[in-house]
Structure 1
Amino acid sequence: MKKLISLFLALCSGIAFLNALEIEIQNQSIASSEIVPLWIEANRYGSVLMDTTLQSHVRSRIRWDTSFFNGALRWSTEGSGSVGFSEAFNPLVTMDTLYTAFQYGLWEFRGGWFQETLGEVFEPLSSGSMAISSNARPMPRIEFRLTDWYTLPWSWTEGLIAIKGGIQHGWFEPNNYVDNVWLHAKWAYLRLGTEQQHIFGGLVHLAQWGGKGSWEGKDFDIPFTFHNWWQTFVAGGGVEGQTEIEKYNASGNHLGIWDLGTKITISDFELSAYYQHFFEDKASLDIWSNGLDGLFGLHVKTPPEVPFLRHVLIEKVITTDQSGPIEEIIMSDSTKINIYGGDSYYFNYLYKTGWSYLGRILGTPLITGTGSGEDFRVNNNRIEALHIGGLMEVGTVTIRALYTYTKRFPAYSEQSLVSYTTWAEKLDYRNHKDRWDGYLGISFPLGPFTILGEVAGGYDQIFGWNWGSSMTVGYRTTF
């Protein structure tokens, strides 16, 4: 089989040969309360429905790698899709990934629908990056990046300086309240030290920009031009076709993280500490006007001689400052508008569905929204959360456990999950609604198959109890 495929590709290209062909098939069945538990549905690239008590998903994935010029250039292609069934037995066919990539050394160009997170966290246990997590389905993007840290080859650096980065252009879903909305993403990191002992710092800058729509009865049409793209790149204003209010701020919806961290090794224990300082709009990007809002994390990887326990993680998420009280400015026609302060993370006055894709938050899933399609709105973005995770190995059995406690405060956006009647009540830290979420997953091989059993549940002071279980059977083979 492999020889036939290799021969076919060689005949097509004359210079290529197949390195690997990977095929994966799995079935997941879920039973839950009307509200699916957080860690059954979150951070799974939108593959699990959020409001269905019985659901089953059959997924398939195929990937092949081809190399050219004696392996100097690699071409990879991957596609995956699923068929889901709810209790009404209505089939839902979705495409999960479909992309192609060309890689030369650490440099890679790829385009299509691919799964990727932005922000340095330990993904198997983390609550999710504040920038782009694994919570939403992949959107179509083109990307140029370094696939890993690149150690500078200059002799004077002694191998102690490394960099990585990348840039993306993407397309949000059609009819997103504003049509033809684009994604701009870029990131740049610097690491000082060795792989086992280092500090690092980086910037992840994200933006929703462009589009055609209306605001307060006035139409706008921001076309794709180099000038408009460059103003988005530098978080500037003054773009063609923009609304009046954008002249006083960066054009588009700008957000991202300053990503800082360190890693040290002590007696074979690897300790990683990180801080993602979240910013929304140019003011909090430039001068950190929103306090310490962001994600704090500590991850410990144990040495092999420690029995069972392999990873421990603890995170603290804070998004309550949001640049403080709202301030007013006076427009050219003497009207007053609110523009500074009250950043209202992931929400945007112009792109009303906010930092989401197909009804899923693109960043941390601890911030949530309600509604669907054009009616989706972020309504829960002022939170304090404690998140704990552990990963254990007992023989061939892997055990993953998560616990999250979240305080939710009234939001600055047009909708709020936690109600309030006055501005003072909105700022009162005694006015919050809490939720507790737990999860346990156990996976093990069974012949050529992998079995994953999961249980999760929690209590929400607004929505009450939730519970759920999942069973996944997967098979993967490589030619």
Structure 2
Amino acid sequence: MRKYFYLLLGLVTCYSNAYPQDSTLFYSATLLGAASTPDSPFWINANSYGAIPYKGSFLSAKASIHKIYNPNNPRFFQWSGGIEGIANAGKQSSIFFTDLFIAGKAGPVELSIGQRKEFIGLADSLLTTGSIAMSANYRPYPKIQISTPQFVNIIPGNDIFTFKFSYSDGLLGSAGVHYGNVTNVPEIYLHQKSLYLKLGKRRHKLNLYAGFNHQAIWGGEDKIFTGGLKKAEAYEYVILGKSWLSSRVGNHLGTIDIGAEWKGRDWTLFVYRQSIYEDGSLANLSNVADGLNGIRFKRKDQREKDPGLTLNTILFEFVYTKNQGGAVFDFNTGTFGQDNYFNHYVYNQGWSYKGRTLGTPLIAPQNVIRKNLTDLGTSYTVNNQIIAYHLGADVSWKKINFLFKGTYSMNFGTYKNEYDPYLHQTALLIRAETVIFNKKTDHLSVALATDIGQFYPNNAAIMLGWRKSGFIK
């Protein structure tokens, strides 16, 4: 693996020197320090691509360089790449890469190899609680992906109807198993694909969106099950969602998304819905209530900021996962409720990677909640029935930018272990950031966060940061 890292770094460096006219290099360096209770608050570590530790006070250093595609370059073939390394010191010290990839593009189609931060699903990317199936909460994993990063015209020369897609396969490493012939398999994989459509031209006031994403964790079927499928055959079952012995091969999860954007003179309005599907419950509408709903108002031109108090973006979200197809699971009647989101009957890690939830961080692992609520069994989470209300805002005043996140959730446990009465929880974050020096490449920030309620410990933290970033010509 180390040779793989050095190889990618060497390729990025060599190509940057050989073809500087094809690209723009972007660099970033960040130092963070936090004083915290024994556990860090929810909005300090959630949706940070796994960069911020769960536990206690820490010091963190991050450095990155990315070669991005040049939008002014007419060449049909271009390439990009990036590397971002993080070192954390504290109760959970670690050194790892988030981004480490190289990619090439032929027209609108890109082939990427490695791991990189991405955002999947129709939702706001800055203030959201996180997409239901694949959020910004987990550390990126190595994969090979073919995709169209931007929407592509279906009718040549006319952007009234456009699409974008992705198809990838990645490595998650070894996995513990609690059902079958073995207790561990040496390698499991994450298959992913998505397709999104957009109706409306860029200059139109109204754009409509619809699409889906589908993910599946799989691997080791021939070792786990007697007479289990070989790797090639299992992969076919995974990508097609076919059943084997009355069950799908692997742990499947995805969302069907719809959205609409209205572009006013000064503001844009974006509304979206992500509906969960896992084992067929959505097909018969038994879990149609479950999903993420959002509405965002965003100021169109944020470059010319008023010296007074200015609201740039405000977001409201509602998350509901309490239905899960109903309380009945019965093979005899064909009633398949109790979807048990983010847990799996085979893999111990459920819907996670390196201890981080792949989907919405509102469904959290056992090791971050109050100790009296944990279950000594093999479930990844003991709380996947939630109702949550979320407010996010981006506000500027003079040269200071403020970000606020506030989430109130009602936590009901699982169908097998319900909390009665349900548990209240509030998570709050406010962050202030300002530019220093004339070049505007240096930023100082301070963040305050707290958790108050019955589900997480009562956490609090203050985090100070410095960030330097810019383009290298």
Q: Secondary structure at the match of 2:126?
A: coil
AA at the equivalent of 1:260: I
User: 1:324 touches 1:342 (CA, 8 Å); kept in 2?
Assistant: yes
User: 2:145 touches 2:167 (CA, 8 Å); kept in 1?
Assistant: yes
Name 1:361's counterpart in structure 2.
357
CA distance, structure 1, for counterparts of residue 385 and residue 213 of structure 2: 21
Q: Secondary structure at the match of 1:378?
A: coil
Question: For residues 240-279 of structure 1, what are the structure 2 equivalents within 5 Å?
Answer: 247-279=245-277
Name 2:407's counterpart in structure 1.
404
Name 2:146's counterpart in structure 1.
144
Name 2:345's counterpart in structure 1.
349
| One of 37, 44, 48 as aligned partner of 1:40 | 44
Question: For residues 291-310 of structure 1, what are the structure 2 equivalents within 5 Å?
Answer: 291-304=288-301, 308-310=310-312
Let me know the Cα RMSD of the aligned residues.
2.9
Name 2:161's counterpart in structure 1.
161
CA distance, structure 1, for counterparts of residue 255 and residue 133 of structure 2: 6
- Per mean C-alpha deviation after superposition, the further-off stretch among 441-450 and 461-470 is 461-470
How far did 1:219 drift?
Answer: 4.9
CA distance, structure 1, for counterparts of residue 424 and residue 69 of structure 2: 51
AA at the equivalent of 1:280: E
CA distance, structure 2, for counterparts of residue 433 and residue 476 of structure 1: 42
Name 1:433's counterpart in structure 2.
423
CA distance, structure 2, for counterparts of residue 383 and residue 297 of structure 1: 16
Matched, 1:280 2:278: yes
CA distance, structure 1, for counterparts of residue 156 and residue 65 of structure 2: 40
How far did 1:187 drift?
Answer: 0.6
How far did 1:26 drift?
Answer: 1.4
Q: 1:63 to 1:198 in 2, by over 3 A?
A: closer
CA distance, structure 1, for counterparts of residue 457 and residue 134 of structure 2: 29
Q: Secondary structure at the match of 1:151?
A: strand
How far did 1:359 drift?
Answer: 0.4
AA at the equivalent of 2:196: Y
| One of 198, 206, 225 as aligned partner of 2:207 | 198
Q: Secondary structure at the match of 2:236?
A: helix
How far did 1:221 drift?
Answer: 5.0
Matched, 1:289 2:286: yes
Name 2:330's counterpart in structure 1.
328
User: 1:192 touches 1:198 (CA, 8 Å); kept in 2?
Assistant: yes
Q: 1:273 to 1:182 in 2, by over 3 A?
A: same
Name 1:117's counterpart in structure 2.
119
Q: 1:253 to 1:201 in 2, by over 3 A?
A: same
| One of 26, 33, 39 as aligned partner of 1:29 | 33
CA distance, structure 2, for counterparts of residue 148 and residue 477 of structure 1: 23
AA at the equivalent of 2:237: Q
Name 1:223's counterpart in structure 2.
230
AA at the equivalent of 1:452: S
Q: 1:317 to 1:463 in 2, by over 3 A?
A: closer
Q: 1:340 to 1:147 in 2, by over 3 A?
A: same
CA distance, structure 2, for counterparts of residue 143 and residue 473 of structure 1: 33
Question: For residues 35-184 of structure 1, what are the structure 2 equivalents within 5 Å?
Answer: 35-52=39-56, 54-64=57-67, 71-86=75-90, 91-154=93-156, 159-177=159-177, 178-179=184-185, 180-184=187-191
Name 1:468's counterpart in structure 2.
461
Name 1:209's counterpart in structure 2.
218
Gaps of at least 5 residues in structure 1 are: 239-246, 331-335, 420-429
User: 1:371 touches 1:377 (CA, 8 Å); kept in 2?
Assistant: no
CA distance, structure 2, for counterparts of residue 442 and residue 16 of structure 1: 36
Q: 1:101 to 1:154 in 2, by over 3 A?
A: closer
CA distance, structure 2, for counterparts of residue 11 and residue 278 of structure 1: 42
How far did 1:72 drift?
Answer: 2.6
How far did 1:296 drift?
Answer: 0.5
How far did 1:303 drift?
Answer: 4.7
Name 2:435's counterpart in structure 1.
445
User: 1:74 touches 1:103 (CA, 8 Å); kept in 2?
Assistant: yes
Gaps of at least 5 residues in structure 2 are: 1-9, 178-183, 369-376
CA distance, structure 2, for counterparts of residue 272 and residue 86 of structure 1: 40
CA distance, structure 2, for counterparts of residue 121 and residue 434 of structure 1: 25
Q: Secondary structure at the match of 1:36?
A: coil
How far did 1:280 drift?
Answer: 1.4
Name 1:243's counterpart in structure 2.
none
AA at the equivalent of 2:189: W
AA at the equivalent of 1:291: V
Q: Secondary structure at the match of 1:175?
A: strand
Query: Share of identical aligned residues, percent?
Result: 24
Q: Secondary structure at the match of 1:48?
A: coil
1:217-239 CA-partner distances (Å, limit 9, x unpaired): x65754321x432221121123x
